[in-house]
Chains A and B, each alone.
Chain A
Amino acid sequence: MIRVLNFFCVALMGLSILALYHVSERTRLAGVDLNRVNRQIAAEHATIDVLQVEWSHLASPERIATLAQSKLGLDNTATVQLSSLELLPRRGEDEAPLTSSPVRNASAVVPSPTDAAGMH
């Protein structure tokens, strides 16, 4: 009986060693994969960082203003071209409160087709 038990224990130990080796090898491979993925993540983060900076550069107010002016013919809005909610006509009213006032008559210069020739 004791021999059977001993044999069983030795067999169990052998199986454990094999299982441990298998797990250890899988862990090592997983570690390699993990390092590779971590490097990829770091590289992606670095790329995202650079792209975010690039986006900040491309969307900088200076560049947008230059493009809006050269491609769309847009320019700074004069304050008289702005209004407030209370100056808008209410339902049933024919005219806005400032009809025929200088504010109402202030004209925004709409770019002519030739001005916007560069627009695509």
Chain B
Amino acid sequence: MTEAPTIYQRRIVIGAAICVAAFALVLVRLVDVTLLPSDKHRNARGFSEQVRADMLDRNGEILARDIPTEDLYARPHAFDDKAGAARDLAAATGTDPRRLTGMFTDKHPYVLVARQVTPDTHERVMHLGLPGLDFLPSAKRYYPDGRATAQVLGVTGFDDDGAMVGLTGLEMGLDDQLQDTDHPVELSIDMRVQYILAHEVEENREHFHAAQAGGIVLDVRTGEVLGMVSMPDFDPNGYDRQPGDTTHNIISQDVYELGSIFKIMSFTLATEDHTMRPDEVFKIGNGYKIGKYTIHEAEHMPAVLAARDILAQSSNIGTTQIALRSGGVRQKEFLTKMGLLGRLHTELPAARAPLYPSNWGTIETATISFGHGISVSPLTFAAAAAAVVNGGRKITPTFLKHPGDGRGEQLIKPETSEKMRELLRYVVTNGTGRKADIPGYDVGGKTGSAQKPKMNGHGYTHALITSFCAAFPIDDPRYLVFVLMDDPHGTKETGGFALAGYTAAPLAGRVISRIAPILGVPQRLTTAENVRGRP
């Protein structure tokens, strides 16, 4: 029989247990300090005040980043002459002197004088020699490419709680993702394409004195937007303010009657339903009567035209006859399927829903066939046109990098898509889109010239909305270029004409000729005949 432990033995055991526990604690702490990663050093890149993640283009170039700045605060009770301090600080920081005077005399103990002060401003303030000023570290969102990306990236601002939030563009649409500062957001934008698009669109807008202009470059297989431009634009960094600057993006936020470019959809429907053959001849004449209305042509047309020439020469009367074979019900069903009658949801906020007649009768079927009486956003139309040429499958435009195939539901038969590509190529080689023909890149496309509706909604003005929708290389398209001009004016070189064939088609051609080599689209100058006789 064993003896019970003595009081000393118990104390020794308890003391040993305490020592073991103490060493165990030391061991745990050692493991914690030496082996486990510390939260303190997790944010290796950036500074403590960084509040939003970087935005990068598809090649890793920085499009937007927080840079460290300072916010200037003041303790007004430290000023001997509050009005003088307010005046001097307002002059040094560019803020409103009345606001500062009001806050300094309102017995606020601590006042925000200016946010995001630059080093120059910091120096000016320090030279004032005022007491009671504090510079607290802060962050400012900076956009290295300035105006070129302004409309698509948008800007940030401060909410009521003083937190930085996206106000427009992708800054607003991707607000949640941008809160995670550890992971930069990779966009689908290619800065080289974006610059070329912005440069060409702005030059063209100035050349034709257009009120607004815009464009988009879309990958028809992945749905990625490689470039999007809307002019006039603005300086997102706020250094260069010009009259007429706006944050309004006409490509995604506006809806337009796009005119003849809509004939792409009318011919796709007719080809899909086999209600027309490309070589079938239609009588054109001087007008086409539907009840009390008469459909006219924008330009003089031959008495008869084959279907492919109706598209190439952009005949309203011919397209009307083709559309009426399908009828209004089928036309509406088809346009719904193509996504043209619904709001397009992308990462860009504030997209407008299309406008179309509630009563879809015969005359509406006729006018919609050539793009009047229905208003859609250029981005929505570009997505639908991409589905027409990419083998007939739906794509949803995205501004996030997404290199995989983004094509979804089959909207039209692949054979229809192939026939439409042939017709679009014919428009460029033999029709109104000749000025978009770029040697080596086999461009296919369609022009659109629509009269602008009057502000009161009754009738049309003489001003035009001209557009061109192009895809290349047309036998197996990879990219779609859509450009739009709002109220362009003809020049001496165009003989005074402002139609899309003169104003929008050459713009699309120039954009393609510059972006195609950058995007690695192989050139097809295999024979001399390919280039002979072309400009």
Contacts and interface: CB of A to CB of B under 8 A. Distances in A.
Given A78-B513, A79-B516, A98 B528 contact: yes
Contacts of B44: 45
A49 B514 contact: no
B439 A79 contact: yes
Nearest to B509: A79
Nearest to A104: B528
Contacts of B198: 62
Contacts of A18: none
Contact of A61 (B40, B66, B192): B192
B514 A76 contact: yes
A56 B144 contact: yes
Majority secondary structure of chain A interface residues (helix, strand, loop or mixed): helix
A84 B525 CA distance: 8
A91 B196 CA distance: 38
Given A52-B62, A80-B531, A42 B47 contact: yes
Given A56-B62, A62-B199, A79-B513, A84 B47 contact: no
A101 B61 contact: no
B523 interface: yes
A98 to B, nearest CB: 6
A88 B85 CA distance: 74
A82 interface: yes
Given A53-B67, A83-B523, A60 B144 contact: yes
Contacts of A20: none
B135 interface: no
Classify chain B: how many residues form its interface, as a range: 35 or more
Classify chain A: how many residues form its interface, as a range: 20 to 34
Given A46-B47, A60-B148, A62-B199, A80 B62 contact: no
A12 interface: no
B142 interface: yes
Given A61-B192, A102-B531, A84 B144 contact: no
Contacts of B528: 98, 101-103
A100 to B, nearest CB: 8
A77 interface: yes
B529 to A, nearest CB: 9
Interface string B33-77: 000000011001111100000000000011001111000000000
Interface string B1-42: 000000000000000000000000000000000000000110
Contacts, number: 94
A56 B67 contact: no
Contact of A77 (B439, B517, B522): B517
Given A52-B65, A53-B62, A56-B61, A80 B525 contact: yes
A60 B195 contact: yes
Contacts of A15: none
A11 interface: no
B526 interface: yes
A50 B523 CA distance: 40
Interface string A24-59: 000000000000001000100110011011101100
A87 B525 contact: yes
Contacts of A52: 62, 65
A84 B45 CA distance: 43
Contacts of A78: 513
Nearest to B194: A61
B517 A62 contact: no
B199 A79 contact: no
B441 interface: yes
A3 B482 CA distance: 98
Contacts of A54: 144
Contact of A86 (B48, B195, B440, B526): B526
7 contacts: A38-B40, A45-B47, A56-B144, A76-B514, A79-B438, A86-B526, A103-B531
Given A49-B65, A61-B148, A82-B525, 19 more contacts: A38-B40, A46-B67, A49-B46, A50-B68, A53-B62, A60-B191, A60-B195, A62-B195, A62-B198, A62-B199, A65-B199, A76-B513, A76-B514, A77-B517, A79-B439, A79-B513, A79-B516, A82-B523, A98-B528
